[in-house]
């Protein structure tokens, strides 16, 4: 049987023996995001001649964060909930040649790690952040997150969420990231292209991928994917977001000094 071309990027053995099946529930969107990341890296290795050894994955804690040292045939760090970005920054300071891919969840980024998130974007640190936004805390039982839509029922909001939610992409752009895009798991090709652009961007690239958690949203993966496709919209100019729709596309792609390079210039004055 022909092997999946991306299997080369998975370890021969995972925590439960054979690398597949992964620990993720069947139909979870996180596996699709990992597949997109592998395709993007594969192309960059081929087209830009960057060695595989230069790619490092850093994750925090959450379902999304399981996409790391357990399975990946890359150097990687499975770190602390919410602290992915400081740890990724430390790794990059130690070796600025690295291409660091951070895989994080909406809770990891927008709740416990919110402050690290805005300051990484403000500093414009050369990281590619893939934020898997399933609209809740998947790993711990489907609790409400800062990204949960208003009125939605979760395990901790059985009568409907009463809080306004964060727009993580808007936050990244406002805080200073140089590449920001949002796609969904129903947009695999666009996601691959966005990840490639993010990795090639010298600065903070934030790519938000709206994803399905069929277990806690209690829907089938197929219905959730159809809904992601149907409910996402590409806006033109200042067009208002139609009610209930998710804006998708590339929101920001600019050039400005990257912090580790700027910091190195200060150090170089004394060498």
Ligand X SMILES: Cc1ncc(C[n+]2csc(CCOP(=O)(O)OP(=O)(O)O)c2C)c(N)n1
Give the footprint of ligand SF4 on this chain (CB under 6 A).
24-25, 28, 30, 63, 134, 138-139, 213-216
Which stretch of DSSP H or E encloses residue 42?
helix 30-48
Distance CA 106, CA 163 (A): 15
Q: Nearest 5°: phi and psi at 86?
A: -60, -40
Residues 230-269 binding ligand X (CB under 6 A) are none
DSSP helix/strand/coil, 203? coil
What is the DSSP pairing of strand 17-18 with strand 13-14?
antiparallel
Residue listed under structure tokens 């805080």: 175
Per rule CB under 6 A, is residue 107 in the interface with ligand X? yes
Q: Nearest 5°: phi and psi at 217?
A: -85, -5
Q: What angle do CA 27, 109, 169 make, to 5 degrees?
A: 85
Residue closer to ligand SF4, measured from CB, 196 or 228: 228
Residue 221 interacting partner from Mg ion, ligand SF4, ligand X, none (CB closer than 5 to 8 Å by kind):
none
Residue closer to Mg ion, measured from CB, 82 or 138: 138
Per rule CB under 6 A, is residue 40 in the interface with ligand X? no
Residue 81 interacting partner from ligand X, ligand SF4, Mg ion, none (CB closer than 5 to 8 Å by kind):
ligand X
Per rule CB under 6 A, is residue 63 in the interface with ligand X? yes
Per rule CB under 6 A, is residue 139 in the interface with ligand X? yes
Residue 140 interacting partner from Mg ion, ligand SF4, ligand X, none (CB closer than 5 to 8 Å by kind):
ligand X
What is the smallest separation between the CB atom of 8 and ligand SF4, expressed in angstroms?
Answer: 24
Contact residues toward Mg ion (CB under 5 A) are: 105-107, 134, 138
């Amino acid at each position: 049987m022909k092997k999946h071309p991306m299997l080369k990027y998975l370890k021969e053995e995972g925590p439960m023996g054979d690398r597949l099946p992964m620990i993720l529930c069947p139909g979870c969107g996180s596996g699709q995001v990992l597949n997109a990341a592998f395709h993007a890296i594969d192309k960059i290795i081929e087209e830009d001649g960057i060695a595989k050894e230069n790619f490092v994955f850093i994750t925090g804690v959450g379902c999304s964060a399981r996409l790391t040292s357990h399975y990946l045939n890359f150097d990687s760090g499975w770190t602390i909930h919410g602290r992915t970005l400081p740890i990724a920054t430390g790794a990059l300071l130690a070796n600025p040649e690295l291409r660091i891919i951070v895989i994080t969840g909406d809770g990891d980024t927008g709740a416990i790690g919110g402050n690290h998130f805005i300051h990484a974007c403000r500093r414009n640190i050369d990281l590619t952040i893939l934020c898997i936004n399933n609209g809740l805390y998947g790993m711990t039982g489907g609790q409400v997150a800062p990204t949960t839509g208003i009125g939605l029922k979760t395990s901790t909001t059985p009568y409907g969420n009463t809080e306004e939610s964060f727009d993580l992409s808007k936050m990244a752009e406002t805080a200073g990231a140089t590449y920001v895009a949002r796609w969904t798991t129903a947009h695999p090709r666009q996601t691959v292209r966005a990840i490639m652009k993010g990795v090639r961007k010298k600065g903070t690239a934030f790519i938000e991928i709206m994803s399905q958690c069929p277990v806690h949203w209690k829907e089938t993966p197929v219905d959730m994917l159809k809904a992601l496709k149907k409910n996402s919209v590409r806006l033109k100019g200042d067009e208002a977001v139609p009610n209930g729709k998710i804006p998708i596309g590339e929101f920001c792609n600019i050039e400005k000094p990257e912090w580790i390079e700027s910091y190195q210039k200060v150090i170089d004055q004394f060498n």
